[in-house]
Amino acid sequence: MQKNNDRTAVIFDHDGGIDDLLSLVLLLSMDHVDVLGVTITPADCYPDDALLSTLKILSLTGNQSIPVAVGNKVGPNPFPPDWRAQPRVCHSMPAMLRVEETRGNVSALPADEWMVHFLKQSAVSVTVLMTGPCTNLAHALDACPSIAEKIDRVVWMGGAVDVKGNVAMHDHDGTAEWNAYWDPLATHQLISSGVSVLMVPLDATNALPVNRAFLTQLAKVGTEVSDLAGQFWAATVTAIPAYEFTYFLWDILATAVMGLPSSAITVTSGSIAVSVQTPNAGETYRAANGEGNTVQWVSSVDADLVRNYVISQFSRPFSAFTAENVS
Ligand code: AGV
Ligand code: CA
């Protein structure tokens, strides 16, 4: 498989949350990354909102030619409607309303089929970055296992290994992270797929709450991009001040991994298993006796380094986000 060493080809699958949308902005800010496609999982969002915000961000950054595909596969454990509606604020902000989205790049295929179609013909191996449930990719791998050869690695925001989860539901014991819980079977399929997986679980993201100190640091930049990011995040601070409701730089950390120096993160390797039943559906736990599969996960981070990296990327003008050399 052809591999270009100084550039990273990425398919970005997100689920339309506020930090998913900011992750798209962050990913597009990285000079060494070529975003080859954006796919949407209809999980922690309403898909029409997620698509509209995605297209507007692509227009704002001069990336209207990147293909976008919306998924139609859903997991069994829906997100609360309040959370799904929250990112509607993003495409309702002045800078987002002013920019006209274009729809010529929206695929007629659902996201999982687009992934199969794209990867089958791809001459390069790609990184699949996912910041929502992994349902689209699990379906794609199921439909066409040979696409695994085109996947260099998967970087996935999901799971909770040595820390408690963030699911607080009536039939759950609180051990799972939401992306893993939404579609526990897909999580199980991903972990056991044999594809190289780097999880970015709550173990690492817990160090990065969206708090006033971070928002103040970001606000000091005072540019078009940093102000838009600050406005998106400001919409998250009305949450109940409890662990399960607090907003973290979840997806942002998973995305930042694509550009951070390796000194900023600690990666652990081990055998992980996934529960697909109540009361711990979606729990990603250290497996005993050959039960699980070997994956890697980010177990801790240098939080200051991550925050500084994100803020410095968001200090760039939108004009610096346009791909020059996608071939
Ligand atoms: O579990 C974290 C994942 C991330 O992909 N999502 C939100 C991020 O996009 C689900 C989630 C957990 N707690 C939440 C979430 C909250 N308080 N509000 C909205 N979404
Ligand atoms: Ca997400």
| pLDDT tens, N- to C-terminus, the chain (327 residues) | 555 568 999 999 999 999 999 999 999 999 999 999 999 999 999 999 999 999 999 999 999 999 999 999 999 999 999 999 999 999 999 999 999 999 999 999 999 999 999 999 999 999 999 999 999 999 999 999 999 999 999 999 999 999 999 999 999 999 999 999 999 999 999 999 999 999 999 999 999 999 999 999 999 999 999 999 999 999 999 989 899 999 999 999 999 999 999 999 999 999 999 999 999 999 999 998 888 999 999 999 999 999 999 999 999 999 999 986 554
Looking at residue 5, what is its pLDDT? 65
- Find how far residue 133's CA is from the centre of its chain: 9
Indicate which atom in ligand 1 lies nearest the CA of residue 86.
19
pLDDT of residue 323: 82
**pLDDT value, residue 289:** 80
Ligand closest to Cα of 166 equals 1
Pair 61, 28: CB distance under 8 Å:
yes
Residues by chain with Cβ below 5 Å of ion ligand 2: 15, 17, 20, 131-132, 251
Among 12, 178, 203, the mutation site with the greatest number of ligand 1 atoms within 8 A of its Cβ is 178
Q: How far apart are CA 309 and CA 313, in angstroms?
A: 6
CA separation, residue 116 to residues 110, 195, 323 (Å): 10, 15, 24
Ligand 1, CB cutoff 6 Å, lining residues: 17, 19-20, 44, 83, 131-132, 157, 166, 177-179, 239, 245, 247, 250-251
Count the residues in the chain: 327
Protein residue whose Cα sits closest to atom 9 of ligand 1: 17
Return the ligand 1 atom nearest residue 20 CA. 9
Can you give the residue ranges of every domain in the chain? Answer: 8-325
Q: How far apart are CA 221 and CA 231, in angstroms?
A: 13
pLDDT for residue 31: 96
What is the model's pLDDT at position 327?
Answer: 43
Q: Measure 327 CA to ligand 1 centroid, in angstroms.
A: 34
- What's the CA-to-centroid distance between 134 and ligand 2, angstroms? 10
Q: Residue 49 Cα, ligand 2 centroid: separation in angstroms?
A: 14
**Cα(133)–Cα(142) distance, integer angstroms:** 16
pLDDT of residue 4: 54
- Measured in Å, residue 253 CA sits from the centre of ligand 1 at 13
The first and second tokens of residue 292, run together, are: 């699980």
- What backbone torsions phi and psi does residue 107 show, to the nearest 5 degrees? -70, 145
Q: 214: CA distance to ligand 2 center in Å?
A: 20
Instruction: Please state, as a whole number, how many other Cβ atoms lie within 10 Å of the Cβ of residue 222.
Output: 10
**Ligand 1 center to residue 135 CA distance, Å?**
16
Domain 8-325: give its CATH architecture.
Answer: Alpha-Beta Complex (3.90)
pLDDT at 12: 99
How high is the pLDDT of residue 290? 81
